[in-house]
Amino acid sequence: MSMQAETFKSLVRGAAEQVIASAPELTSLDQAIGDGDHGTNMKRGCEAVLGKLDAISAQPLDEALKMIGKTLVMTVGGASGPLYGSFFLAAGEALSHDKHLPEDLADVFGSGVSAVSARGRSQAGEKTMLDVLVPVLETLKTAAGQPDLIARVRSTAAEAVERTAPMQATKGRASFLGARSVGHVDPGARSSCVLVQAVCASLEGKQ
């Protein structure tokens, strides 16, 4: 296996394991403003990805991301499954069309964010995963090529997830609660933060 494939494999494994480890927290956040399944949904999806990890990491990067997306669509369920699935499918699609890593990272991540927004008919400010994904995209654009990029992405994600607490949800199940959704961190924002932080940790370990 090439060095790049080996790195990708450990990155995906690390991210999936972090999400699995955070499942109890994701569930308790979803118990507060949803139906309490976000942790089990994400855990199921990440276990499916881990189960296919050899096949996934044997693919070129664009195909590997699409495989992850398809696996998440098929296994996560809920609102978040198709949304995370769309993210990885679109990011893989971007890489199939003349985008390259690391130089096009913001464009590739941006394709994923746009796909979530299109599929969810949602945007930042509605107390969803986009309230982490959009600020992270902004940091990827503004801090591209800077030596502290990873550290800045990390702090962006951590701060963004906390900023969802005072928001009132206007999309997803939490929106049914109206004003009662205020005061709780959004579960999908938290899972996005866990994913972003895990990728950062893995990349930092490689430096």
Half-sphere exposure of residue 5, counting CA atoms within 13 Å on the CB side? 12
- Which range in 12-20, 46-54, 94-102, 116-124 contacts ligand ADP by CB under 6 A? 116-124
User: What is the closest distance, in whole angstroms, from the C-beta atom of residue 82 to ligand ADP in the complex?
Assistant: 9
In sequence order, the 6+-apart residues with CB closer than 8 A to the CB of 126 are: 167, 169, 170, 171, 175
Whole-angstrom distance, CA of residue 5 vs CA of residue 124: 33
- Provide the token pair at 75: 């296994």
Whole-angstrom distance, CA of residue 11 vs CA of residue 37: 25
* 30 is a contact residue toward Mg ion (CB under 5 A): yes
**Count of other CB atoms within 10 angstroms of residue 8:** 20
User: What is the closest distance, in whole angstroms, from the C-beta atom of residue 133 to ligand ADP in the complex?
Assistant: 9
Q: Which does 172 bind (CB under 5 to 8 A by kind): ligand ADP, Mg ion, none?
A: ligand ADP
Binding mask 126-165 for ligand ADP (x = CB under 6 A): --xxx-----------------------------------
User: Residue numbers of the site for ligand ADP (CB under 6 A)?
Assistant: 30, 34-35, 37-38, 41, 78-80, 83, 116, 120, 122, 128-130, 171-173, 186-189
